[in-house]
Amino acid sequence: YYWYSFDATAAAQLPPEMAVPFWNAVAGETEGGDIGYAIATLGLPALPALAAMVRQKPTENLSWAMHYGAVEIAATAARAFAKLKTARAAGRAWLLQYPEHAACALIAPALGKAGEARDCAGAALRLLYSQGHETLLLDVA
């Protein structure tokens, strides 16, 4: 086993045709700092890397996802809201900022087999319902 870290600032300064595939490949596998610079520089093509980093460390990285409405982030935001006390506020904020993305990603897991994914998805959908998004939930379902 080995551990390494990469500098997201340095990765983002590579030419975009190299930086995006590189960051998307290693982001979920390593520790990395200053991901905000990489997100701002690389933009939407680096969304898979952002989603991987948020999944890996939601407490530290979910705040960076506040600028992206993407179904890839919804399950992590729901888990943060339902299970992680230190990331509950960030998870709630993301879910309420992007309710349509959350609904699209979470309705199927909420109806799936019993487990953490179903519990977290259900909690997130109940939050959306309680905050006045019942019409959206019905439309998406």
The residue segments making up the domain with residue 45 are 1-56
Per DSSP, 31 falls in state E
Identify which of 139, 121, 63 has the alpha carbon closest to the alpha carbon of residue 94.
63
* 20 and 50 fall within a common domain: yes
> How many of the other CB atoms lie within 10 Å of CB of 53?
27
Evaluate if residue 53 carries a pLDDT over 60: yes
Q: pLDDT tens-digit profile of 111-131? A: 999 999 999 999 999 999 999
Amino acid at the residue 141: A
pTM of the model: 0.88
Q: How far is CA 87 from CA 61, 78, 133, in A?
A: 10, 10, 22
Question: Is residue 140 a part of any domain in this protein?
Answer: yes
In a domain, 122, yes or no: yes
Q: Are 37 and 91 contained in the same domain?
A: no
Q: Are 48 and 111 in the same domain? A: no
pLDDT at 4 over 70: no
Give one DSSP letter per residue of 33-44, joined into a string: E-HHHHHHHH-G
42: its two tokens: 């690389």
Is 65 within a domain? no
pLDDT top residue among 47 and 3: 47
Number of domains in the chain: 2
- Residue 134 pLDDT greater than 60, yes or no: yes
Measured distance CA(90)–CA(63) in Å, rounded: 6
Is residue 93 within 8 A of residue 66, CB to CB? The reply is yes
Asked if residue 138 and residue 76 are part of one domain, the reply reads yes
The answer to whether residues 2 and 50 belong to one domain is yes
The SS3 call for residue 29 is coil
4 occurs within a structural domain: yes
pLDDT at 29: 77
